[in-house]
Amino acid sequence: MSVKAMWMMIQKIHAESHVSRLFILCDMVWCAVHYGVGYLEYRVFGWVYIRGKKRKTFMTMQDNLRVCRLANDKAYLPLFEDKLQFNEKFREFVHRDFLDLRKASFEEFQAFCQSHPVIFVKETDGFGGVGARKLSASDYQAEPSCRALYQELKDNRLFVVEECVVQCEKMNLLCPASINTLRMVTVLAGGKPYLMYTLVRMGNGTKAVDNISSGGMYAPVDENGVIFKPAFCDKTGELYEIHPFTKTKLVGFQIPFYAQAVEMVFEAAQRVPQVGYVGWDVAMAEDGPLLIEGNTMPGYDMPQNYYHLRDEKVGILSRFQEVLGERLEAN
């Protein structure tokens, strides 16, 4: 833990809340000891404003790990952690062409580029959009340039080559520069899938990815597929009722094809029952939803962002206890 970073966080919380720095420091230490909550989570959860029993309603990192251990069999995790294995296993939900450069010859790669004018390349186990690139394959039609690109991608371990997703016009209103995905988290209990929460992530208008770690922002989505709170950006620490780049009004925005997306992730959740806790990244094409990837350790902090909580100001732990019941308590 960085003491300097912690102190800077205390300064930020003090500026926002006007609570004394000494109180915040003591309360942070108390929360770390009694709840296992670090200073970053303390700020995200808004615990400077929340006291007593309500803090016990929040899912912590340890709670999240318990759910992962309970629901996910390690032997089956590679099906999700390797993006190419995931594409193969969930091909019917992926709805796009892809190529594995670990196996594909140059001739196969050249044919792929000729068939798809725009491609997306990434690592098989990349996180947060790091290293992902959107390329115009039409710039590499000549054999020498195409062969050079083939070798460059292999050298940089960008083995995942995919047909670029074409996002529907409604989601382009959020941010046309990125594929704006839903993070839909499901838990499988007794063979039945449950939707735990949904967030929508969108780019900031300057990058081709929507990842929060790459400067994107996120907002909560209700059971009807409607954004009900302003988007939050970790990089700036700001809330946005209107997208800063596209000027689209975010609160009240209706996600298209939402009911179909719920149906799709429920079906996908039952394909590998040995992995019962998954965060599905879902994009919206012109003809409906498709899967981008599945994450076997979904985040627990973003759905508990203080500024996104409903009026009761409680966390999501009770929802997991309701679904998993005694199995969670005993784990």
Domain-wise residue ranges, the chain: 3-49, 68-81+168-330, 97-163
**Cα distances (angstroms) measured from residue 12 to each of 103, 282, 301:** 50, 34, 18
**Predicted local distance difference test score (pLDDT) of residue 115:** 94
Supply the pLDDT for residue 294.
97
Strand 288-295 relative to strand 192-202, pairing: unpaired
The total of other beta-carbon atoms located within 10 Å of residue 92's CB is: 12
Residues in a beta bridge with 121:
133, 161
Task: Give the HSE-up count for residue 79: Cα atoms under 13 Å, Cβ half-sphere.
Answer: 18
Domain 97-163 class in CATH? alpha beta
Check if the beta carbon of residue 170 is closer than 8 Å to that of residue 288: no
Whole-number Å distance between alpha carbons of 136 and 64: 40
Structure tokens belonging to residue 41: 């989570």
Nearest Cα to 65, choosing from 320, 310, 326? Answer: 320
Sheet (strand 192-202) strand order: 238-240, 231-233, 217-221, 192-202, 182-189, 277-285, 288-295
Q: What six digits make up the tokens of 137?
A: 């394959």
- The per-residue pLDDT string of the chain (331 residues; one tens digit each, 9 = 90 and over) reads 688 999 999 999 999 999 999 999 999 999 999 999 999 999 999 999 999 999 999 999 999 999 999 999 999 999 999 999 999 999 999 999 999 999 999 999 999 999 999 999 999 998 767 778 889 988 888 999 999 999 999 999 999 999 999 999 999 999 998 899 999 999 999 999 999 999 999 988 665 554 544 568 999 999 999 999 999 998 888 899 999 989 999 999 999 999 999 999 999 999 999 999 999 999 999 999 999 999 999 999 999 999 999 999 999 999 999 999 866 665 5
Q: Which residues are bridge partners to 254 per DSSP?
A: 226
Residues near 21 by beta carbon (within 8 Å), at least 6 away in sequence: 10, 11, 14
Those residues whose C-beta lies under 8 Å from the C-beta of residue 212, and which sit 6 or more positions away, are 128, 201, 218, 233, 234, 302
Superfamily of domain 68-81+168-330: ATP-grasp fold, B domain (3.30.470.20)
The whole-angstrom distance between residue 320's C-alpha and the CA centroid of its chain comes to 19
Instruction: Give this prediction's pTM.
Output: 0.92
SS3 291: strand
CB 99 within 8 A of CB 161: yes
Of 162, 174, 96, 98, nearest in space to 135 by CA: 162
> Residue 280: which H helix or E strand, with range?
strand 277-285
Task: Note the pLDDT of residue 2.
Answer: 84
Q: Tell me, what's the pLDDT at 5?
A: 92
pLDDT at 206: 60
Q: Which residues of 236-246 are buried (b: 16+ CB within 10 A; e: fewer)?
A: eeebbeebebb
Per-residue model confidence (pLDDT) at position 234: 85
